[in-house]
Each structure stands twice: as C-alpha cells, then as structure tokens.
Amino acid sequence: MAAVESSLPPGTPSAMRNAFGTVLSALILVLIGVLAFSIRLFSVIKYESVIHEFDPYFNYRVTQFLSKNGIYEFWNWFDDRTWYPLGRVIGGTVYPGLTLTAGTIWWVLNSINIPLSVETVCVFTAPVFSAFASWATYLLTKEVKGSGAGLAAAALLAMVPSYISRSVAGSYDNEAVAIFALIFTFYLYIKTLNTGSLFYATLNAIAYFYMVCSWGGYTFIINLIPMHVLLCIVTGRYSPRLYIAYAPLVVLGTLLAALVPVVGFNAVLTSEHFASFLVFIIIHVVALVYYIKGILTPKMFKVAVTLVVSIGLVVCLIVVAVLVALVASSPTGGWSGRSLSLLDPTYASKYIPIIASVSEHQPPTWPSYFMDINVLAFLVPAGIIACFSPLSDASSFVVLYIVMSVYFSGVMVRLMLVLAPAACIMSGIALSQAFDVFTGSIKYQLSSNSKDDAEDNTTTKNAPKDDAASGKTDKGEEVAKERSSKKGKKKEREPADKPSVKSKIVKKKALVLPLETSIVALLLLIMLGAFYVIHCVWAAAEAYSAPSIVLTSKSHDGLHVFDDFRESYAWLSHNTDVDDKVASWWDYGYQTTAMANRTVIVDNNTWNNTHIATVGTAMSSPEKAAWEIFNSLDVKYVLVVFGGVIGYPSDDINKFLWMVRIGGGVFPHIKEADYLRDGQYRIDSEATPTMLNCLMYKLCYYRFVETDGKGYDRVRRTEIGKKHFKLTHFEEVFTSHHWMVRIYKLKPQKNRIRGRAKKLKLKTSSGVSSKSAKKNPWM
C-alpha cells in the first residue's frame, strides 16, 4: 500500500488525494487520541481525581519518593515501612518504568512552570498512555494490512473495555504504560521485518528495554518473537530481514534487560528466556545454511547439507540435554510460578494458593470475553482469515500474537489485557476488509450503473446514500469517529486502489457483491460498531470507573458515598505513633503505607509466603494465640475490613478461607476442614466452634449485634452465630462510619512484677477477687 502510494508522481490528482488522505488520517488519529483519553475520565468526573485500588497506591508512594529524593535515592531505597521486620528493597524489586515515566513527566512539567502535583500526574498517566497505545496500534496494523485497517484498529483499541479496565484515570499501574510499550515493541519488530533496517532494530531493542522496565509481562514478548522467528524458519520464510529483526533484539535487548535491577541476571538464567537463546542459535544455523547454499553449486550443497545436518543434530541434542539438565536441577524447573500456571493451567490451583487466591488469576468464562472485548470476539476469526490471504511475515506475526494471547487469556483472566490489542488489530483488519468489499461493491455497481444509465441519474442515486450514511454518523459521536476512520481509509485507499481494481474488473469480471445486500451488510456492520461503542462507554462509565477506595451505591433515597477507607487511614495517621505497626490482610498493605504512613507486616507485593501465612494463621487462630503471634511481630494495631453492615462483599470474612488456606500451607495446625461445616463456609449458628472463636470472626463481629439488635450480616445474608462476646486480648479503638474498617489495639502484656505485687496485695486483703484477676491476666 505504502509502496503504491509513494511511487505515484507528485502533482497528479492522485497524489493530491493522497496528501489529503494523509492529513485526514492524521486528524482522525488525533481524534482517536482524544477519544482514548476522554473515555477514561469517567472516574474523575463521577468520583474525584484520586488514585485507585491497591497497587497504584504503592506506585504513587514510590513516585512521590522519586520526585522528592531523586533517582539515586530511589535506586537504593530500602523501605522499612513494609514487611516488618524484614523490610523491602524497593529500588531492586520494583519495575521502575511506570514511576520513572510519571516522575519524568512531573519533572518536565514543573521545569516549564506547570505546577501539577505528583498525584495529578499519576492519575492522568494512564489515559495519556492509552492515547499513545492506540497510535502504536495504528502503526502496527498499518505495517500489517495498510492504514485503513490501522485506523480501524486504533479506534477499536481506544475504547476496548479490557484495556479501559486497567487504564482509567487514577488506575496508576504498570499495565498503563506497559500495553503501549508492548504494542510499540511489536510495531518496531514488524517494521524491522518489513524494512530490514538496523535503525529500527536498535529502536526495537530500546522499546523492549522500556517494556522490561515497565512490566513483568515482557516475558510474553521475549517468547512470542522467538516463536514467530521459529515459525518463519519452519515454514520456509527465512530471510536476512528476519535475521536483522531478531538477532540485534536478542543481543541488545538481553543486555539492556539485565540492566533493570529487578530482572538482572534472570535475563539469562531463567527458563522464560531460554526460548530466545535457543532460537538465536537456530537462526544462526539457518543463516549459515542459506549462506552456504548461496556460494555452492546445488550438488555440492546437497553434500554439505548432509554433513551439516548430521553434525547439527548432534550439537542440538547436546545443547538440549544440557538445557534440560540445567532446568531440571532447579526446584521449579527454572520457571516462576505464574509462568508455570500458564503452561500447566492446573499447576497453581494445586500447589500455589497465593496465586490461585487472586481472582484475576482465575480462568475466565465466556461472558468475560463478551464483557472485555465485546463484539471483537465475533470479528477476530474474520481477521485471522484475512491475515492468511495472503500470508506475509507481518500478518503471520499478528496471527501468532492473537493465538498465543487468546490461549493465555483463557488460562488467566488477567491476561485478557494482552489479548485486547491483538483482538483490536484483528477486528480492525476484518472490519476494514469488510468495509472495503462492501463499499467497493456499492461504488462499482453505482458507477457501472451510471455508465449504462444517464449521468445525472447516478448523482441523485449516489447523493442520498452518502447523506444516509452521514446522517447515521451524527447519532453517536463515537460512532462517527469509528466510521470516519473507515471513511478516511476509504477515501485514502480508493484513489490508489481504484485503477488496479478496475483493471482487475475488466479481466476477472468483478469481485463484487450485489448492491442491496452490500448496503444492508454495511448497515449491519455499522450497527455492530455502534453496539460496541455503547458497550464500551457503558463499561467505562459504570463497570470500570469505581476507584474502590471510595464506594458509592444508589438507592431510592439517592446516592450514598462510603468513604470509610480514607477515614480510617486518616485516623491511623493522626492517632497512632509514626512507628506503630499495623497488621491487616495483605490487600490493604499498600494503602496503609501510602495513606496512613504506618508500618505494615505484609502488603500486596506477595514476595514472602511465610510471612503472609503467619498473618493468615494469626487471623485464623483463637484470640490468645493470635495475640501472641502479633505481639511477637511488634504489632500495635490490627485492621480488618468488614462489609456486613452495608453489604460490601469483598471484605475480610469473604477472603477468610484464603487466609486459612495460605496459613495452613505453612502451619499445618490450621486445617481448612475445621472452619467448614460439611464442606460449607458459614458464619451462622451452624458454624464450627473453630470458626466462631477465630480472631477474624471476633474482630469483624465484635459488637455487631448492637447495630440492628439481631446481628444480621448483609453480605452473607444470615444472622451470625455468636452474637455476644467480649474480647480479652484486643480492644476496639476505631470503627469507621459504616463499619467497613475496624481497628483494634493489642492490649499490653501484663506486667509480671506488678502482677505479682497485686497478687500479694490481694492475698493480704481478701481472696475473693483473685479469681477474676486470674481469668483475665491482661487487664
């Protein structure tokens, strides 16, 4: 396509149209960028400009540290506020891409006297990068199937719900920039593959470096590209361009990746990277074969092949044996748990409860696909087929990309995010092809009609069509954008295509469809697109914009806002000592450190399973045992999240079974069966005594009966089993407005000397009250 365009001589009408097409696509791309940015602002408009959820708070805290102390301090930062008493080396264990990006943006803005706060920059990083991501999608798809498909794919990506879910304003997480980096790396790879330019190959390695900085998902790239190279070799598509696209990426990319502290030597040591090295060897062998083929006569070449093949086989076998031995000698076979659970989907559920416990690591059901990529699920197969006619290096890459990502998304719902760009590219290709065929048929038949009939007849026929189309456009702005992208493509492509199409028509008697059915099909496609837009806007506005730190609910008497989390964290930061330790389940670790600035025992960076299991065990133990565990960890306060009053379902009682499982995984005296009545998890009168006496139950339901007199839990929809009880080792210090967060203080340990003195005193006075003193030694 590009070649055809550039070969036209300047000054001709087609060149003029071409220039017009370029300007139009640039305009459309700007609009797509605006769309991508603005569709993600629902969260700011509906709630406020606030950081969302859990992980973003950590990233925000790191960015704050970076902007305050500079990059060197950040690199060497040892954080003593988390994982007490272990602490955590932040600089060496964090993917720095996101924080460095936002930090740089903040620094640039400040140095040109735009005084935005760090928080504002963090909130809007994700929407800005989604605009970049859609532009990268345009570039990538353009390399594969021309700019028409590119524009369609970019428009689709700008509002694909799966990506919106991770990149709404305030969702300040690695994926926000990583998806852009992922697509851009793929684009540069394809660009190198198409041009064979070393310049792009170097850029590709740098883009890969940025991706490695940003997200652990970079292993997807470093496995997908080798797979594509291997596929090209296997299907006999080896070319020097392939070599240039791949070899520099492995060498430079691996060197650069090893510079990132969190990756370091993993870039050459773990199995996730072995595929790239193996293919690196293979491509050299193949390159050598092709080289020898070039300098030898066919006969000599045959002899050489037999020689090389036999030697090569031996060498390969040895290498494979060494690799297998190396891999087998490491405990998990060199694969990290998350990657293993991708290859053997049943692995995590069997062996790693901490991975299985996260809901985004579950395999999705079909409605998830409908929710996350919506009608793209219908269009992708057409895109796959279109990529095969004809199959090029670039199109085979996107096919491989969609196949791999769709498989992985089937294993882990979280990877739907990686599928989304592939689905957009494929659907863009499919849509663009379909529009091409239908509009081409309409145009051809109208113009052929015009040849048969009178000239003016056609113009009247033609005009209403366009009007009808543009009239539809006005209905929804998003539709307009998506449609206009297709229009742009049409206008841009048709002038260049028309001559060739026409010449084909003369020879082959028209590759067209009937006029009226084409129009109907076009309308149906537009309806499908409109449905997609509506779904995306709905998803962005309703489903994915909740910051989950502030909750709202609508009822007949208006909107209720539950701001309990921030209330409680503020309480902690104002009413406790700076060095006090707060224990909670790991979900709330990041928020506690970022918003309350207090030391936590475990947080969302689940690097130490034993530590988490300790907290899980404490929560599952009776009060005294729990007190001892917490006291041994210097804990002053215990924070639990409880949704029973307002019906907030993701509270600690619902997460409790995972605490038991994770705790029991390390400390076998905690048995899941003890907490279940006939295999059922219940907290009502049928609950087991272990359940009713564990710390989590007590901390959540302490004084709960005072709210309504019955103790009716609105999440579990039942009356609780044990209503009236007292705490012996903990005291309630704070309960938030809607009871969502409850904070307890550990009672101080009994002072032994004073106790003895007291006892002596009691003995001397009377023996009556000594009994009660014994009963409650902590008072």
* Size of the residue set binding another protein (CB under 8 A): 69
Structure tokens at 754: 């004073």
Structure tokens at 93: 């264990």
Long-range CB pairs of 505-513 (<8 Å, 24+ gap) are 505/444, 510/444, 511/437, 512/440, 512/441, 512/444, 512/445, 513/437, 513/438, 513/441
Place of tokens 């030597």: 265
Is position 729 an interface residue for another protein (rule: CB under 8 A)? Answer: no
Is position 673 an interface residue for another protein (rule: CB under 8 A)? Answer: yes
From candidates 269, 345, 623, 723, binder to another protein by CB under 8 A: 345
From candidates 292, 296, 382, 625, binder to another protein by CB under 8 A: 382
Cβ of residue 524: shortest distance to another protein, in angstroms?
A: 6
Is position 381 an interface residue for another protein (rule: CB under 8 A)? Answer: yes
Cα separation, 688 vs 673, whole angstroms: 10
Cβ of residue 91: shortest distance to another protein, in angstroms?
A: 37
Is position 534 an interface residue for another protein (rule: CB under 8 A)? Answer: yes
Taking CA atoms, 223 is separated from 209, 274, 405, in Å, by 15, 9, 12
From candidates 232, 537, 596, 741, binder to another protein by CB under 8 A: 537
Cα separation, 517 vs 505, whole angstroms: 20
From candidates 113, 365, 764, 772, binder to another protein by CB under 8 A: 365
CB 744 within 8 A of CB 736: no
CB 55 within 8 A of CB 126: no
Cβ of residue 672: shortest distance to another protein, in angstroms?
A: 9
Is position 388 an interface residue for another protein (rule: CB under 8 A)? Answer: yes
> x-or-dash pattern for another protein, window 236-265, by CB under 8 A?
x-----------------------------
- Which segments of 582-650 does DSSP mark as H helices, in order? 589-591, 609-620, 623-632
From candidates 26, 34, 234, 343, binder to another protein by CB under 8 A: 234
Is position 370 an interface residue for another protein (rule: CB under 8 A)? Answer: yes
Between 264 and 381, CB nearer to another protein: 381
Is position 561 an interface residue for another protein (rule: CB under 8 A)? Answer: no
Q: Which helix (H) or strand (E) holds 218?
A: helix 218-234
Strand partners, 734: 743
Between 455 and 678, CB nearer to another protein: 678
> x-or-dash pattern for another protein, window 396-415, by CB under 8 A?
x--x--xx--xx-xxx----
Fill in the DSSP letter of residue 414.
G
Half-sphere exposure of 494 (CA within 13 A, CB side): 17
Cβ of residue 522: shortest distance to another protein, in angstroms?
A: 11
Between 75 and 388, CB nearer to another protein: 388
CB 534 within 8 A of CB 39: no
Handedness of CA 40, 41, 46, 47 (dihedral sign): positive
Is position 291 an interface residue for another protein (rule: CB under 8 A)? Answer: no
Is position 292 an interface residue for another protein (rule: CB under 8 A)? Answer: no
Place of tokens 């999240």: 641
Query: What radius of gyration do the chain's Cα atoms show?
Result: 31
Cβ of residue 177: shortest distance to another protein, in angstroms?
A: 26
Q: Which residues contact 107 (CB under 8 A, 6 or more apart)?
A: 67
Cβ of residue 168: shortest distance to another protein, in angstroms?
A: 17
Cα separation, 409 vs 360, whole angstroms: 11
Is position 235 an interface residue for another protein (rule: CB under 8 A)? Answer: yes
Cβ of residue 231: shortest distance to another protein, in angstroms?
A: 8
Between 238 and 280, CB nearer to another protein: 238
Between 2 and 309, CB nearer to another protein: 309
> x-or-dash pattern for another protein, window 416-455, by CB under 8 A?
--------------x--xx-xx---x--------------
Fill in the DSSP letter of residue 596.
I
Between 370 and 712, CB nearer to another protein: 370
Q: Which stretch binds another protein (CB under 8 A): 55-63, 102-110, 217-225, 385-393?
A: 385-393
Cα separation, 668 vs 390, whole angstroms: 59
Cβ of residue 365: shortest distance to another protein, in angstroms?
A: 4
Fill in the DSSP letter of residue 263.
T
Between 136 and 521, CB nearer to another protein: 521
Fill in the DSSP letter of residue 389.
T
Half-sphere exposure of 370 (CA within 13 A, CB side): 4
Residues 480-519 binding another protein (CB under 8 A) are: 509, 511-514, 516-518
Cα separation, 28 vs 24, whole angstroms: 6
Burial of 554 (0-12, 13-18, 19+ CB in 10 A): exposed
Between 525 and 720, CB nearer to another protein: 525
Cβ of residue 554: shortest distance to another protein, in angstroms?
A: 13
Is position 379 an interface residue for another protein (rule: CB under 8 A)? Answer: yes
Place of tokens 């025992």: 601
Is position 538 an interface residue for another protein (rule: CB under 8 A)? Answer: yes
- Summarize as ranges the residues that interact with another protein (CB under 8 A): 234-236, 305, 309, 313, 345-346, 349, 362-371, 375, 377-386, 388-389, 391, 396, 399, 402-403, 406-407, 409-411, 430, 433-434, 436-437, 441, 509, 511-514, 516-518, 520-521, 524, 528, 531, 534-535, 537-538, 541-543, 673
